[in-house]
Structures are given as structure tokens and as C-alpha cells.
Amino acid sequence: MKKLTLALFAGLILVFACQRTPSDRKIDLTVPWRFHSGDDPAWTGATFDDSKWELINPTDIWEHQGYKNLDGFAWYRMRVVIPHILIDDAYIKDSIQFKLGKIDDYDQVFLNGELIGENGKNILPKIQPRPDFFKGPSQWDTERRYTLAANDPRVHWDQENIIAVRAYDRGGAGGMFSKPFEISMVDLPDHIKFDFGQSGFKFVGDTLISRQFAVYNISQKEEFKGTLTIHANRCDNGSLLFKQETVLNMPPGIRTVFTVNIIKDLAVPATVYFSYREKSSGKEVKERLEMPYILTPKPGKTPRINGALVFGIRPWSPLLYKIAATGEPPLTYSAEGLPEGLHLHADDGLITGMLSKKGEYTVKLKVTNSVGTAGRNLTIKCGDLISLTPPLGWNSWNVWGLTVSDKKVRQAGDAFVSSGLISHGWTYINIDDGWEDTHDKNGNIIPNFKFPNMKEMCNYIHSLGLKVGIYSSPGPRTCGGYEGSYSFEEKDAQHYADWGIDYLKYDWCSYGGIAPNPNDHQLKFPYREMRRYIRKVNRDIHYSLCQYGMGDVWKWGNEVDGNSWRTTGDIEDSWESLSGIGFSQDKCSPFSAPGRWNDPDMLVVGWVGWGPKLHYTRLTPNEQYTHMSLWSLLAAPLLIGCDLTQLDDFTLNLLTNDEVLAINQDPSGKQARQAWKTDECQIWIRDLEDGSKAIGLFNLTEYPLPVNVKLNDLGLKGKWMMRDVWPQKDLGLVETHFEMNVLPHGVRLLVLRKP
């Protein structure tokens, strides 16, 4: 591997066109801090000698730095001179801020021995909080920003200051992480904000992209006068696509909405740069926004059959299989070799029925329209295993959170059909937490008022050719505080089957109260228990374990008959979360197999928000290409977590690339391995059923990166035909090496086939 060269030619134009902008004067705190586990009020002190403490990097959790099993209290300390030049240089000179990344879970922060901020419960009762500190909403994923008046006596200007952070971790990941870690004055960039969250990109015709955004002055007392400049450049050659300058006066609290309309070739990546320059200080606030670019070719008029090549069913379970196909309607469907007990509906491509005997059947599918015919084999395996390819579907959590309802679930089903997602193999419509009410006196689970008739709703979703999922916990309460299945497992499983449920996500949550420090047996027990009952019902229910990877679940998920298991905590729509999860999945790779999937959590594309308020995903288009490509290489369940009634062209395009989905659905069930890794780039490679290789070249940096790949270093010998998967284009023969540009946080997804 050592020989693989990852060259970075800082192509000036490219760097100019796509790099992030520098920020204002600040003191960088991403230096090693002193660290000690345990808890002692003496550690707040300015005079305390911490020189014997270990060093730690504040931007990463302590589990990654040698403290694998540490939960509870630990302290971080650091010494820093705060120079007066910060005030001299600032346009607004009132307040100083301490940005301390994020802290998992709670923290109290001391400056020179005195409390200046706290997030979470007041966890050190001996210390009386002063009324003047920032108190956060007690969340591990909240950015810590503690602000003091510039003349506060706790700040020692031009002298050494001691910052001490007392962190408390309730379990799982712990301590300081993320970025930024810095000290700066609260200045123009803290008051003038660009807000892109209220609108997504709109595509008008074939060349116009439009996006609304707002600039607002969040200060309640400062007024700013200046100029707003917007320009857009292509990422490939840097050429200017658009420029506009507007004089903009911003009284306190004012928010102004603008629309940018940019004409460009939809397939060309481009970046829009925003800047607000304050007139009297000359200070500037900058933002950038990557524009979506469309890579997936539009489906043609001729029929094409998509979706899985293999389908698993158990004897005596009702089967519902929709032949996924694109092409100009009307399409008619036929299936030769269907085993006895199964029927095809020729006008909508639904196969239904039941099989009584185990066996493997090859069915010749055919889809015809006025333009032509497509044919493909489907293997139906009637046996013990289901979900022979990763489930493709939608789940309510990342969009609606606990505000999910019957109406929203039906709308998602309708959107699968109207948007055409169903024609690319998307199947499951899954209700997450928030549907439950209580168990009645006979132990029957009663849905809450938002789900007036679960069975009717399931029938409706099935009538669309789709399947339905539900959610529960082995504990008495779900993570959202709703009714769990504890001690009602058997009855719940029967209800799910009676309603017509096809997928169960079973989430540990309050089971932690029953088994607080679970050993191996206790980790498996509740999953075995529910598994017994869902195996008893005459229905194939995909069994999805959700316990955030505890006890390396990927090593034993199959033993409790899980069909998939979450390998991580919850995903968010940030690069940090996406890359942190996605690129840490190599350890799970050997355990992926047909019917046994590692689940790195759901997709965060489109309009998300964990309900009821939604925002457009904060992932850039490149990051979203990375998300879909990596999750496909990882053979991960793909569960769309967005509002499908607001599906924009870019998101739909991202979700309907049949060649990308074919990698995800490859019957081999093998997961990609990390084949190469530097700080800048990673290469993942997945063996496909037919002997070809799916390869992802990922750029982890914020600049375009030419990646030079030597086939030898990937263990590949001889000549290969290379295909660029997103645009579905052949790139010709490669033999010893090739080089490719990869956009910031982006990917090139390739398939190499033997000629």
C-alpha cells in the first residue's frame, strides 16, 4: 500500500474557486490541553499544578485517545495569554467569547478559578453559579460559546489565564470534541449571519438554479452599513458565472431575504460566495455555498428493470414484491417461471402470494412498453433468510421526529409512487418513534390519536406496492418517552403482524434502566426475546436492532437473528457526523452478509429537521454524493429521512441512480473495505458478485484533490474497464494507474470490470 501516491497539486484556479474563506483574529485553542479523569474542586484553581497531567487533543472524544472505558467526570485544563490586541483589532469591543467545540455530555467552565459557563445540570453543587454566565440547553451536540464582558475581572488581559473544564459523560462517547476551539471578540461575524436553511435550491427548466437566502443582523443594539456581494464560479475552470453587489444597511434585528438566480450547465459543480463588507471598519463576513450539480442521467423511454436481483421469503409468509422498472408508461409486466403460489399483476408489476416449500426459483421478468422490452432474472429464495439485499426505504425520524402521523406516513407512500422512487426499488415506509399510546388492560398496544387505524394505514401502503415499518423498544419506554414493549413482547409482535407490519426497528432506550451495565448476555437477551415472537408470526418482518453499536453488535447481530443492526449513535446533517460515522465502518465490514447488514444510520438529505420544524440538509452537494456512495459501498440499509412532499430535483437525482443503487443491492452482500487512508483521502473497495470492483475515492479535505491511484496498491492486477458510476459513463481501459480530481468532501465512485 505504501506506494500509492496521493498527489495534491494546488491548482491555483481550482483552489481559488472552491476553497473555504479565512476567518478573523482569534486565539487558537486546538493545542494539547492537560487532562485528568476523576473530579476534584481543587482542579478549578488558578494555582493548581497540572504539569503531571496527560496531554490530550480537545477536538476528539477521549475514547479515541486512550480512555476507552471512561464514563463520568474528567477535567481539561489549559493556559493561555489573552493579548489586548484582540480588543484593539475588534470593530465591536464589548465582549469576549470562548468557543469550546462541543462537550459530551455536560460541562462547567472556569476561567482563572471562577465559573464562566455551564451546559447541562449544575453538576458541582459546592460551586454557586453566578447569574451572569451563559447557560446552555444541556445538549452534548451544542456548540459551546461562553461570552463575558471585555472588562469582566475574570479575564486577565495580557497575562496568563487558566481555563479549566469539568466534563461529565453519562456513557458512550465522552469529553470535548469538534471545533472551533478559540478565543475571540464578539465581532461583526457574530452579528451578521447568512441563513440558507429556510430554502433549498430550485431548478427552473434545464439551466436555471435559484436559491433564497437571508442576511440578518442578530445584534439587538448594533447597526451596520455596508455592501453585500454575491458571486458564483465554476469549480472546474474558475470562470465567473454570476456577480451582484448591493448596498445593504442593517439596523439591529433586521433580516433581509434575497434570491440568487444562476444560469449554468446543471452537471457543472459551482460555488456561490457571499460577503458582507462593513463600510467604516472594512470588516467582512463571508460564506460560501456549493451549488447542486446533477450527475444521474434521466431514465430513458425504453424499459429498464431495476431493484434487487435476489429476494428472500420464508415458507407460509405472504409475499409482496414490486417489479421496479422505469420507461415510458404504460408498462406491462410478465414473469416466466413463477413458482406455484405466486401471482403477477401484469399492469402494475406486483407479485403476491405465498410459498409453501423451501427452494430457489429463477423467474424471468419482462417489462414492455410501446418503445421496447427489458428482461432480467430474479432469484426468489424461499428459506430461512429474508432481506437478502439491504432494505431501501423511508423512515420518519430524521424528518418528523416525534410529530409523525398517519397522514405523514401516507404522504410518504404517495410520494414514493408519484416521484418515481418506487421504480428504482425503494420499498419500505417506516414509522419511527412517536406512534404509541399505551397497553390496555388486556395488554394490547394502542396507537395514539395520530394513528387512528393502523391496519387501514398499512393496507393503504401495501396497496401502493410498498411495505410498512414500525418502531419499539425492549424497555418500558422508547427514547422519545413513549410506550415500549417491555413485558408485552409477544402481544406486540402479534399486533404488528395483524396490522401488516414488514419491518421492526427495536431500540434499546430505557432498557438501559433494566440492564444498566449490560454484559454480553444482557445485551443480547431483549433482542432474542422479541426475535422469538416475531419469528412465530406468519409474516416476514425485517428485524432491525438499534442499540448504537454496544458490545460490537456487528459481531453477534446475526446470532440474535437481526437482519440489520445500527453500528453507531444517531447521525446528523453535518460533515463531522457523516464522515465520523461513514469512515469508521471498516471494523464492521467482515460481518456484512445477505440478510445481515451493518447499519450506519439513515440518510440525511433533502428537508430534514427531526420535526416539526424542517430545514434543508446542511450537507453540501458533494457531501451528499459521498453519503450515497459510501452507504452503497457499505451495503447499508438506505432509509431516506426527509420530507418527500418537498423532494427537489437534486435530492431525487441523488436517490435514483440505478447504478449506484445496484452497488448497494449487490447480491454478494459483501461490504467495502478501507483500502487506503491518508489525512486527505480514503479509498474504499467493494467486491461485487460478478467479480468486478466498486471503488470510492473520497476527498476529506476542503479543497479539490487530484488522487493518483496505483492499481497494484489496491491488489488489482491486469487490465480493467473503468466506469464512472454517477454519470454512468465508461472511461475506457486502465492498467497500472489512473488519476482523478475529487471535489472538496466529494467522491468519485467507479466500477472496474474485467474487459
CA–CA separation, 709 vs 4, rounded Å?
A: 6
* Residue 516 neighbours by CB under 8 Å, 6+ apart: none
Q: Is 397 in the site for ligand GAL (CB under 6 A)?
A: yes
Chain centre to alpha carbon of residue 739: 28
DSSP 143-187: PPEEEEETT-TTS-BTSEEEEEEEEEE-SSS-EEEEEEEEEEE--
Minimum distance, C-beta of residue 492 to ligand GAL, in the bound complex (Å): 16
Residue from the set 570, 576, 586, 680 that interacts with ligand GAL by CB under 6 A: 570
Contacts with ligand GAL by CB under 6 A: the residue count is 10
Could you tell me which of 499, 508, 503, 405 has the C-alpha nearest to residue 448? Answer: 405
| Cβ 433 to ligand GAL shortest distance, Å | 3
Number of H helices, E strands in the chain: 13, 48
- Cell numbers that stand for 250 in this block: 442593517
406 binding ligand GAL? (CB under 6 A): no
CA distance 298 to 525: 48
Question: Distance between terminal CA atoms of the chain?
Answer: 25
Rounded CA-CA distance 345/331 in Å is 12
Residue 573 within binding range of ligand GAL, rule CB under 6 A: no
Q: Of 187-195, 207-215, 317-325, 478-486, which part binds ligand GAL (CB under 6 A)?
A: 478-486
Shortest spacing between CB 473 and ligand GAL, in angstroms: 8
CB distance 740 to 711 below 8 Å: no
Which one of residues 104, 105, 287, 507 is an interface residue with ligand GAL (CB under 6 A)? Answer: 507
Residues 293-322 binding ligand GAL (CB under 6 A) are none
CB of 389 to ligand GAL, least distance (A): 22
Q: Is 478 in the site for ligand GAL (CB under 6 A)?
A: yes
Report if residue 562 touches ligand GAL, rule: CB under 6 A.
no
Contact residue for ligand GAL among 479, 685, 716, 750 (CB under 6 A) = 479
220 grid coordinates: 439587538
Q: Using CB under 6 A, pick the residue from 433, 483, 540, 599 that binds ligand GAL.
A: 433
**274/508 with CB nearer ligand GAL:** 508
- Write down the least CB distance from residue 484 to ligand GAL, Å: 11
**432 in contact with ligand GAL (CB under 6 A):** yes
**By CB under 6 A, is residue 89 in contact with ligand GAL?**
no
The piece of 58-66, 308-316, 477-485, 684-692 that touches ligand GAL (CB under 6 A) is 477-485
Catalytic residue among 187, 406, 432, 507: 507
> Least CB distance from residue 572 to ligand GAL, whole Å?
11
Smallest gap from Cβ 617 to ligand GAL, in A, equals: 17
The least distance separating ligand GAL from the CB of residue 738, rounded to whole angstroms, comes to 39
Comparison of 399 and 479: residue with beta carbon closer to ligand GAL: 479
Letter string b/e over residues 287-308, b meaning 16 or more CB atoms within 10 A of that residue's CB = bbbbbbbbbbeebeeebbbbbb
Smallest distance, ligand GAL to C-beta of residue 610, A: 9
Identify the helix (H) or strand (E) that includes residue 542. strand 542-546
Q: Looking at 570, 586, 687, 713, which residue is catalytic?
A: 570
CB-nearer residue toward ligand GAL: 281 or 403 = 403
Q: Judged by CB under 6 A, which stretch of 20-28, 473-481, 485-493, 717-725 contacts ligand GAL?
A: 473-481
Residue 584 CA from chain centroid, whole number: 13
Residues 487 and 492: their CA atoms lie apart, in Å, by 10
42 exposure class (CB count in 10 Å sphere: 0-12, 13-18, 19+): exposed
SS3 labels along 620-683:
CHHHHHHHHHHHHHCCCCEEECCCHHHCCHHHHHHHCCHHHHHHHCCCCCCCCEEEEECCCEEE
Instruction: Compare residues 466 and 509 and give the one whose CB is closer to ligand GAL.
Output: 509
Cα dist. 465→8, 293, 352, 578 in Å?
49, 31, 10, 31
Q: Which listed residue (226, 480, 484, 744) binds ligand GAL by CB under 6 A? A: 480
- Measured distance CA(553)–CA(566) in Å, rounded: 8
Annotate 241-295 with DSSP letters as a single string: EEEEEEEEEE-TT-EEEEEEEEE--TTS-EEEEEEEEETTT--EEEEEEEEP---
| Nearer of residues 415 and 546 to ligand GAL, judged by Cβ | 546
Least CB distance from residue 568 to ligand GAL, whole Å?
A: 9
Residue 508 vs 650, nearer CB to ligand GAL: 508
In the bound state with ligand GAL, the residue whose beta carbon lies nearer, of 504 and 546, is: 546
**DSSP classification of residue 121:** S
| Of residues 24 and 507, the one with the C-beta less far from ligand GAL | 507
Rounded least distance, CB 478 to ligand GAL, Å = 5
Determine if 546 is a binding residue for ligand GAL (CB under 6 A).
yes
Answer whether 639's CB lies under 8 Å from 391's CB: yes
Binding piece for ligand GAL, criterion CB under 6 A, among 85-93, 209-217, 475-483, 615-623: 475-483
612: cis peptide before it, omega within 30°? yes
Query: Is 507 a catalytic site residue?
Result: yes
At 42 the three-state DSSP class reads helix
CB-wise, 186 or 509, nearer to ligand GAL? Answer: 509
Report the phi/psi class of residue 380: left, alpha or beta, with left for phi > 0 and alpha for psi in -120 to 50: beta
* Closer Cβ to ligand GAL, 37 or 395, answer by number: 395
CA angle 572, 578, 581 (to 5 degrees): 105
Per the annotation, the verdict on 190 as an active-site residue is: no
Q: Which is nearer to ligand GAL, 190 or 432 (CB)?
A: 432
Please state, in angstroms and as integers, the Cα–Cα distance from residue 333 to each residue in 123, 324, 365, 381, 658, following that order.
65, 10, 7, 21, 19
Instruction: Write the DSSP assignment of 317-331 as a string of letters.
Output: SEEEEE--EESSSPP
Catalytic positions, written as ranges:
507, 570
Q: Binding residues for ligand GAL, per CB under 6 A? A: 397, 432-433, 478-480, 507, 509, 546, 570
